[in-house]
Amino acid sequence: MKNNKKLILTVSMVGILLMLTNASAIGVSPGTIAFNNMVRGGYGEKTLGISTAGNEDLTIKLEAAGDTKDWITFDPTGQITVPKKSAKLVTVKIAVPNTARNGQYEGTIIISTLLEGADNSGQSGARFMPGIIVKVQLAVTGEQVEGYEVKSVSVKDTEQNYPVEFVVNVENTGNVITTPKLHFEILNSERKEIGKTMDYSETQIMPTTTKQFTIKMPTKGMETGAYYAKMTSNFGDEQTLFFQILAPGTLAIRGSIAQLSLNKIWVKPQETVKIEATFTNEGEVFIDSAKIKGEAYLIDPTYGTKELVGTFEGDSMTVPIGQEVSLTSYFTPAKSGRYSIEGIVVYSGKRTDVKTTVLNVLEEPKSYTLYYLAIGLFVILVVFYLTRMTEDGRTRRFKKMWGDYLSLK
């Protein structure tokens, strides 16, 4: 009986230790999520950061409980993997039903961890242990509040006859869906009006969420030069931004190399290497011809100087607007050494900046097979000569030459 009690106590202690170990491996922020001034039929979102300082990936799941249990969902759903020594963001969504009464509500989010060694399938055998509880506070009011805040606005230079693009970030600070009403006015370099304006009100934003969207404003009839754009909103936001309208062709055709890479960095002489450039069309027009070109330099290890030993060039490719392609060519080093591979991409009469990588060519090792065979054959002949039988069947030659040393009679 006493042994059974000890066994039960031991198992309980192990279980507690496992729970503490899993709990200590998790960090959650914030500890309380508050949805204030919600309305019946309203919607809200908050972000929950879940992190682990452990050396292994952590599998968790989230469950809602309390007054708000049936109103809360998560994105992502189901089992979630938090990479080791990293963090995962989870969106907590709440949809208040139309039948909800005004008042204060409280709930919880239970974060459970999968015990080590359990079945990852989530079916029979999986053991999730509750680790951390996050409080949820909800206030439902009958008052509808509309409001938003323009968090940021940015603008890019453009070319003559191309639209100017504004990238806007807006946060809905109210409790109902809002549609920002923005007014844009173009001013000249002296900040005087030139009669160029535009109104925008096409993007809806859910309560408590932030949305980024792009607004394109025509520039037809505007000359090249420096301009200012003044943006105002119906909720009092105001920002002024500087941009330029450039000559045609300045920005419309634009591309860049992200990296220059080799399929091998250690090769032997006369071994062909594949050279690859990752090229992106960052302009406003279709690129009908782009190809990689470059040079290979042999580096002098003593003085650090470079000697041009070869060139390479690939086939032409088309590149759609905003797309990324891999442009390839090949190079075959003639001798051993350290090479600097320098490449560019030429496209539509333009060229990118130079990208560089290194190729190491090892000297072909010498083969000693023939030497080993010759030595082996010589040894065999010597042994045969010393041990061959005479007419009486004895190895007299061996006795004669080595008998004194081996005391043979």
Q: What is the pLDDT, as a whole number, of residue 304?
A: 82
Output 370 or 91, whichever has higher pLDDT.
91
Q: What is the pLDDT, as a whole number, of residue 133?
A: 93
- 255-361 CATH: 2.60.40.10
Neighbouring C-beta atoms of residue 105, cutoff 10 Å: 19
CATH architecture of 153-246: Sandwich (2.60)
Residues contacting 329, CB < 8 A, separation 6+:
274, 275, 292, 293, 294, 312, 313, 314, 343
CB 160 within 8 A of CB 244: no
Superfamily of domain 2-140: Immunoglobulins (2.60.40.10)
CA-nearest of 299, 300, 277 to 290 is 277
CB 292 within 8 A of CB 327: yes
| Chain segment 312-368, per-residue pLDDT in tens | 999 999 999 899 999 999 999 999 999 999 999 999 888 998 999 999 999 766 566
Mean pLDDT along residues 47-72: 91
Strands 158-159 and 238-246, sheet pairing = parallel
How many helices (H) and strands (E) would you count in the chain? 3, 27
Q: What is the pLDDT, as a whole number, of residue 402?
A: 53
Q: What is the pLDDT, as a whole number, of residue 403?
A: 54
Output 73 or 124, whichever has higher pLDDT.
73
| Chain segment 193-223, per-residue pLDDT in tens | 999 999 999 999 999 999 999 999 999 899 9
State the pLDDT confidence band at 14, using cuts at 50, 70 and 90. Answer: very low
Indicate the range of 26-40, 136-150, 392-406 predicted with least confidence.
Answer: 392-406
pLDDT at 6 over 70: no
* Beta sheet of 72-75, edge-to-edge order: 26-29, 43-52, 86-95, 72-75
- DSSP string for 146-196: --EEEEEEEE--EETTS-EEEEEEEEE-SSS-B---EEEEEE-TTS-EEEE
State the pLDDT confidence band at 3, using cuts at 50, 70 and 90. Answer: very low
Q: What is the pLDDT, as a whole number, of residue 185?
A: 96
Neighbouring C-beta atoms of residue 8, cutoff 10 Å: 10
Query: Percent of the chain scored above 90 by pLDDT?
Result: 59
Mean pLDDT along residues 277-301: 91
Mean pLDDT along residues 123-149: 84
pLDDT at 277 over 60: yes
Question: Where do the domains of the chain lie?
Answer: 2-140, 153-246, 255-361, 369-406
Query: Percent of the chain scored above 70 by pLDDT?
Result: 84
Indicate the range of 73-77, 161-165, 181-185, 376-380 predicted with least confidence.
Answer: 376-380
Cα(40)–Cα(99) distance, integer angstroms: 7
Mean pLDDT along residues 9-35: 61
pLDDT at 285 over 60: yes
What average pLDDT does the chain have? 85
Cα(92)–Cα(76) distance, integer angstroms: 9
Fold agreement between 2-140 and 153-246:
yes
Handedness of CA 152, 157, 159, 161 (dihedral sign): positive
pLDDT at 375 over 90: no
Handedness of CA 255, 257, 263, 267 (dihedral sign): positive
State the pLDDT confidence band at 56, using cuts at 50, 70 and 90. Answer: confident
CA-nearest of 255, 252, 250, 249 to 352 is 255
| Chain segment 227-269, per-residue pLDDT in tens | 999 999 999 999 999 999 988 877 778 899 989 999 999 999 9
State the pLDDT confidence band at 8, using cuts at 50, 70 and 90. Answer: very low
**Six token digits for residue 363:** 């000297």
Strands 148-155 and 238-246, sheet pairing = unpaired
Cα(164)–Cα(196) distance, integer angstroms: 12
pLDDT at 153 over 90: yes
Cα(348)–Cα(358) distance, integer angstroms: 28
